[in-house]
């Protein structure tokens, strides 16, 4: 798979510590919103959490940062946000070196990391007013309008007067997003935004992410859920044990793995036997669904062989490979979806 090229050559060492390189206060528009080079974090205890990461997040993408628990996603996000220093390597966000340019960059970035900090005894609206008041760049005269627009954007207007402690987890996440959206943002960074939500809450967050992205905001979201990434992301990077396994457009990642031959039949045992005889490898029977690796021969012949053997075929075809197939193909392991 072809890697995306960075918009900049970035050969200079930004963390060189000369102290003479000035940080631009205005953040220019770049084609690459996040670019890391050999980014590495070793924690004090010796744990290598992120190992030589080269990440390229194109502007306008919904970028899924995918990996099982403990693969280094949160550590990477904390380095990108200037919350912790990398051990080595560089990170640029909106074209600026982090953590050095944190003060210039963060006003353009909305972040939802490790759940929003909310006051339960305040209403949703008052929580946002509090957030907005804490922002020295926010004009107090337009505060109410800004808060109302933000509540509307995340669909919380009807419950804006309720205390935040009465909110469901999904509503709390949406309120956190509303706080991140009080100002126009070039980049939104969401760490596991659907963690702990029920399916309805997950759907709501997903559709909100799609909506935000349609306005041109780049969204970088981490997840350990493969299907979530497939449903909302245009691009993805896959992490395992602190290392980048692959990155690129989601369609390309999945296309890298072969699809599965799927036969639906009330005669699964016979079907499995015939498929094996026809050279289909890794045959798996799950009730009336028999799947396997597509063989190198003409599929029509395989189907004909099933019919000739008296197998009643209700469905026959090759299912598109999922990101999960790609992950398994790349790492040789299953994906820890239990999280
Ligand atoms: N402050 C820390 N000190 C030492 N080790 C840490 C620290 N934070 C994380 N780690 C370790 O670094 C590795 C990567 O953790 P990280 O939280 O970045 O992964 P993750 O992919 O975000 O997983 P999760 O979704 O569980 O947070 C793990 O082995 C973790 O135990």
> Which residue ranges make up each domain of the chain?
32-255, 260-319
- Is 74 a pocket residue for ligand 1 (Cβ < 6 Å)? yes
Q: What is the ipTM of this complex?
A: 0.95
Of the candidates 32, 142, 44, 192, which has an alpha carbon nearest to the alpha carbon of residue 150?
A: 142
Residue nearest to atom 3 of ligand 1 (CA): 43
**Which residue in this structure is represented by tokens 């997950």?**
202
- Is 68 a pocket residue for ligand 1 (Cβ < 6 Å)? no
CATH number of 32-255: 3.40.50.300
- Is 196 a pocket residue for ligand 1 (Cβ < 6 Å)? no
62-66 and 187-191 beta bridge pairing: unpaired
Residue nearest to atom 2 of ligand 1 (CA): 43
96-98 and 88-93 beta bridge pairing: antiparallel
- Phi, psi torsion values for 7, nearest 5 degrees: -75, -10
Domain 260-319 has CATH 3.90.1150.10: no
- Is 238 a pocket residue for ligand 1 (Cβ < 6 Å)? no
Query: How close is the Cα of 157 to the center of ligand 1, in Å?
Result: 36
Query: How close is the Cα of 77 to the center of ligand 1, in Å?
Result: 11
Q: Output the pTM of the full model.
A: 0.74
Substitution candidate for ligand 1 out of 74, 86, 87 with most atoms within 8 A of CB: 74
Instruction: Give the CA distances from residue 75 to residues 6, 86, 241, 274, in Å, rounded to whole numbers and listed in that order.
Output: 22, 9, 12, 49
Residue nearest to atom 11 of ligand 1 (CA): 49
Residue 59 · residue 220 · CB < 8 Å: no
Instruction: Give the CA distances from residue 34 to residues 63, 70, 179, 218, 238, in Å, rounded to whole numbers and listed in that order.
Output: 10, 21, 22, 10, 15
Spell out the per-residue pLDDT of the chain, length 339, in tens: 333 333 333 333 344 433 344 454 555 566 899 999 999 999 998 889 999 999 999 999 999 998 888 889 999 999 999 999 999 999 999 999 999 999 899 889 998 887 678 899 999 999 999 999 988 888 999 999 999 999 998 889 999 999 999 998 888 988 998 998 898 899 999 998 888 788 888 888 888 888 888 888 999 999 887 778 888 899 999 888 899 988 999 877 776 666 789 999 999 999 999 999 999 998 999 999 999 988 888 889 999 999 999 999 999 988 876 667 667 766 666 655 433
Query: How close is the Cα of 294 to the center of ligand 1, in Å?
Result: 38
Residue nearest to atom 7 of ligand 1 (CA): 43
């Amino acid at each position: 798979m072809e890697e995306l090229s960075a918009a900049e050559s970035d050969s200079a060492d930004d963390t060189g510590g000369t102290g003479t390189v000035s940080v631009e206060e205005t953040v220019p528009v770049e084609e690459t919103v996040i670019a890391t080079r050999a980014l590495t974090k070793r924690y004090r205890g010796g744990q290598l959490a992120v190992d030589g990461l080269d990440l390229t997040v194109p502007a306008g993408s919904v970028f899924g940062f995918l990996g099982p628990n403990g693969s280094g996603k949160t550590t990477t996000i904390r380095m990108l946000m200037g919350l912790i220093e990398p051990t080595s390597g560089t990170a640029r966000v909106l074209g600026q070196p982090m953590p050095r340019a944190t003060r210039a960059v963060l006003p353009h970035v909305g972040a939802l990391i490790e759940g929003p900090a909310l006051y339960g005894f305040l209403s949703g609206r008052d929580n946002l007013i509090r957030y907005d008041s804490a922002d020295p760049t926010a004009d107090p005269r337009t505060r109410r309008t800004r808060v109302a627009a933000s509540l509307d954007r995340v669909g919380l207007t009807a419950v804006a007067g309720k205390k935040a402690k009465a909110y469901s987890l999904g509503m709390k996440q949406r309120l956190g997003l509303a706080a991140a959206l009080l100002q126009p943002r070039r980049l939104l960074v969401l760490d596991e935004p659907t963690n702990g939500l029920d399916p309805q809450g997950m759907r709501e967050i997903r559709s909100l992410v799609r909506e935000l992205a349609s306005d041109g905001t780049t969204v970088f979201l981490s997840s350990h859920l493969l299907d979530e990434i497939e449903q909302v992301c245009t691009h993805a990077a896959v992490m395992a044990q602190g290392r980048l396994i692959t990155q690129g457009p989601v369609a390309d990642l999945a296309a890298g793995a072969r699809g599965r031959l799927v036969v639906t039949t009330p005669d699964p045992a016979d079907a499995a036997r015939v498929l094996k005889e026809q050279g289909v490898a890794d045959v798996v029977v799950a009730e009336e669904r028999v799947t396997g690796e597509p063989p190198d021969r003409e599929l029509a012949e395989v189907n004909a062989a099933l019919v000739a053997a008296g197998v009643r075929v209700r469905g026959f075809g090759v299912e598109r490979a999922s990101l999960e197939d790609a992950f398994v193909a790349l790492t040789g392991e299953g994906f820890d979806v239990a999280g």
